Amino acid sequence: MRAQFILSEIGIGLRRNLSMTISVVLVTFVCLTFLGAAALLQTQIGKMKDDWYDKVEVSVFLCPANSAERTCAAGEVTEEQRQDILGALEAPEVAPYIEEVFTETKEAAYESFQRQFGDQFWASAATVDDMNASYRIKLTDPEQYQVVADVVSGRPGVEDVEDQRRLFDNLFLVLDRATWAAGGIAAIMLLAAVLLITTTIRLSALSRRRETGIMRLVGASTLFIQLPFMLEGALAALVGGALSVAALWFGVEYLVTDWLGQTVTWVPYVSTADVLGIAPLLLVVAVVLAAISSLVTLSRYTKV
């Protein structure tokens, strides 16, 4: 009987404030979609870092014949300078950071250059002598790039030292800022959702002030009186949360997996499994929104 009464009260409240309830659902949907997008974007950044950072190398470019760098004043790198550089990389304090060292000759560098830029008209002017021989160093921990760079930078015969991670840093910076932007919008929308749920519960409580007064007079507990209002807000917020999960799932499935995944195949993308992983968090946030709004409102507007 009590459950039936509470359900009937929830139905009455939702019908009386239908437009406000729809507004709560939409605002909750939008804010949780932004929140979920921020979480998925951060997951995407993590996947890309894990995949790309493990593959990148430190490139030690050796002096060509015509370099203007101070360390190349003696001309093209000599065999003695090469041995000195390799000896520095094999030193006991550096060796633990290095997994493997590959040597790329000028000829190999020229072939790689032609594969990448051979269709450009200006590439035909390049010759083997314009290329840099180099050492490609695979690190045991890509985060320890600076240790290796400090050892070889400035040595005679070394023109430049480059960490391939730097090629991705700007991309990750943009993605990080996009995450913060999505999180900021989500925070603003969360506040709007709390205010809107609070207003909806307040209007519902005011419209049924007489009924709650009668319930109080016949001895109904505070929880029993407040429970329908709390469930109204929770139900609207949960519907908004479920819609946000559905929107994120379809977005990842059709935009990321089917479209981007087929177009750019070398990037590890988030999947629908990641969406399902954050779905409980979004639904919990929806319930917390309703709980905060209820606590703010009910203690005042259900008093008799």
Q: Measured on CA atoms in the order 152, 158, 160, 164, is the torsion positive or negative?
A: negative
- Residue 178 has what pLDDT? 75
Which of 163, 178, 204 represents a domain boundary (last residue)? 163
Query: Are 137 and 217 within one domain?
Result: no
Which of 131, 163, 195 represents a domain boundary (last residue)? 163
Domain that holds residue 85: 57-163
Res 304 pLDDT > 90: no
Residues 6+ apart with CB under 8 A from 149: 58, 161, 163
- Residue 242 has what pLDDT? 92
Kindly report the CATH number assigned to the domain that includes residue 82: 3.30.70.3040
Q: What is the pLDDT of residues 221-274, one digit of tens each?
A: 555 555 666 677 778 788 888 999 999 999 999 888 888 878 777 778 888 999
Query: Are 147 and 181 within one domain?
Result: no
Query: Are 48 and 174 within one domain?
Result: yes
Res 302 pLDDT > 70: no
Q: Supply 11's token pair.
A: 């139905």
The one-character DSSP state at 144 is G
d(CA 134, CA 139): 16
Which of 113, 136, 163 represents a domain boundary (last residue)? 163
> How many domains are there within the chain?
2
The one-character DSSP state at 63 is P
d(CA 157, CA 281): 55
**Whole-number CA gyration radius for the chain:** 31
The residue with greater pLDDT, 210 or 303, is: 210
CA atoms within 13 A on the CB side of 3: 0
- Residue 290 has what pLDDT? 76
Mean per-residue pLDDT for 7-34?
Answer: 69
Q: In what order do the strands lie in the sheet with 158-163?
A: 98-104, 134-139, 58-62, 158-163
